[in-house]
Amino acid sequence: MRKFLILLVLGSFSFAIFNFTRQTAENTSRRPGKLCGIYLSIWTMNYPERCLPLLQQARAVSLNTVICDFDGVNSIYLKNFQEAGKLGFYRIARIVVFADGATYQTAEDPANRQKKLALSREAESLGFAEIQYDYIRFSDRGSPDPRKKEIIEKFLADARATLNIPVGADVFGSVAYQPHHIIGQDLIRMAPYLDVVSPMLYPSHFYGDRLRMGNPYRTVLEGSTLARQKLAGTPARMIPYIQGFAMNLSYADMPLAKYIREQIRACEDAGTDGFFIWHSSNDYAAAFDVLRNYGALYQNPPRAETDIYAYLGITANMLLY
């Protein structure tokens, strides 16, 4: 009888633990209405003394999402991943598809394709709520070729068929305006396979374009609006990456904190589905300072598109260059 009671208690305890774990996983994988978050490098994810304080600071300023580099897991990474879940973050696995941009050889290599899809399945089984593909492009040194777009679409179609969680992709900021034929990214052609599209709208990267390098609010408002217009009628959400790093700030003549604030304000006015802040070294001190004093995000309705186009002096079918 005693043995039966012990087994019954242990069984109930195990069920309770399982149920708690399942409910926790469900709660942390539930997608927020607006995804607002930061990118965490593989180095940060493997360094508890660095990762946990960042997670706590991000939560303290009401961010709800972390995009984590993923290339397999170890015990340290797993612990930090679990801590992010306990803090209630929506967790996205960032997977680099073609390092430094593809060549035809790497893009059509079945071993690389299967490796990335297997990595995606591993991230899903671990508990990531979403996959985000980066460097899903060809090298920016080359020539236009329609076959590049077909190869990228084929990978996304395979990923869509393989996974049971949302799939996103990062694209060049200029792709919000028009297809980039050399790297093979075309927003309209990629969108049917994606749940999220993230143009990297860093103002500093519009090299040689003083208008866009000098006005972070205008640049992010413009790129976000044009990207949303191109995605209209598709299920894909538009969540841009914004610049959290100090590069070419002299063109805008403002400190980094104001530079970040202007980009966030532009995301709100454009009605994006959130924003992701990028800093390759994960130094988010300036971003956290901005958010600490910003107030609740996305509380006001976005600007009307007609007002935005009038302010920008552009049309919906504008080409960048």
Domain boundaries, the chain: 33-312
Tokens of 302: 């976005």
**Residue 73: which H helix or E strand, with range?**
none
**Looking at the DSSP assignment, which residues form a beta bridge with residue 92?**
67, 130
pLDDT at 16: 36
Q: Per-residue b/e over 62-83, b at no fewer than 16 CB within 10 Å?
A: ebbbbbbbbeeeeeebeebbee
Question: Which pTM value belongs to this model?
Answer: 0.90
Question: Is the distance from CB of 164 to CB of 121 less than 8 angstroms?
Answer: no
For the chain, state the CA radius of gyration: 21
What is 33-312's CATH topology? Answer: TIM Barrel (3.20.20)
pLDDT at 29: 59
CB atoms within 10 A of CB 285: 12
- List of residues 6+ apart from 30 with CB closer than 8 A: 90, 129
- The distance in angstroms from the start CA to the end CA of the chain is 81
Question: Is the distance from CB of 155 to CB of 136 less than 8 angstroms?
Answer: yes
Local mean pLDDT, 10-residue blocks, the chain (321 residues): 42 37 47 95 96 98 98 97 98 94 88 96 98 96 94 96 98 97 96 98 96 97 97 95 96 97 98 98 98 96 96 92 83
